[in-house]
Amino acid sequence: MAKAQHYIDSIYYDLELTSHAMKALGNHLFEHLNLGLTPVEHAALDTIFCNTGICQRDLAKLILKDRANTGRILASLEEKGLITRFVDVKNNRLVRKMGVTEKGHKVLEQVRKKIEAYVKSISVQFSEEEIDQLQQTLRKFRENILELANMKI
C-alpha cells in the first residue's frame, strides 16, 4: 500500500519553498548591491523593455501582480524616469501604454551586469540542457494547473 503523501512531501510545497527562497534571494541581492530598484520593479522594467507598448493590464498578467499593485510599480518607475507612459488606441478605446526611457535602458544594463554573476551561481551545478528541461517541465506543470483551475493567465 502506498504511503499517504502529506503537503510537505508534495511538489507543491517544493515549488512554494523554491519561490520563497528566490524572492528572498532577489530582495537581498538587490538591497546588497544597492541597485536602486526592487526585484519587482526590475521585473516590470525588463518586461516593458521586451514588450514596448504594453498596457498595464497585460503587464500585470506577465509580472503576476494585480492592476493596483502594478500601477504603484509603474508610478515608481515613472517617477525615477525609467519609463514613459503614452496614450494609444486599442479596440477603439484609449489605452495607456508604456515604453522604457534611455535612462531605463542604462539602468537595465547596469543591473544585468551587476547581477549576472549571482544569477549564474544559482544554476552553476546544472547544465544548460537541465535548465531548459526544468523550464519546460515547470511550464507544462503550470499549464496543467491553470487548465485544471480553468484560469488561463
Over residues 10-27, the pLDDT tens digits come to 888 999 999 999 999 999
Q: Which residues contact 9 (CB under 8 A, 6 or more apart)?
A: none
Average pLDDT, the chain: 91
Domain count, the chain: 1
What confidence score (pLDDT) does residue 151 get?
A: 61
Those residues with Cβ within 8 angstroms of residue 119's Cβ, 6 or more apart along the chain or in another chain:
none
In a domain, 131, yes or no: no
- The whole model's pTM is what? 0.82
User: Residue 17 maps to which CATH number?
Assistant: 1.10.10.10
What pLDDT, in 10s, does the model give residues 60-103? Answer: 999 999 989 999 999 999 999 999 999 988 788 888 899 999 99
- The range of the structural domain enclosing residue 105 comes to 7-122
For residue 146, what pLDDT is reported?
83
Phi, psi of 96 (to 5 degrees): -85, 125
**Within 13 Å, how many C-alpha atoms sit on residue 144's CB side?**
6
Spatial distance between the Cα atoms of 18 and 14, rounded to a whole number of angstroms:
6
Position 153 scores a pLDDT of 54
* Closest C-alpha to 72, from 105, 41, 107: 41
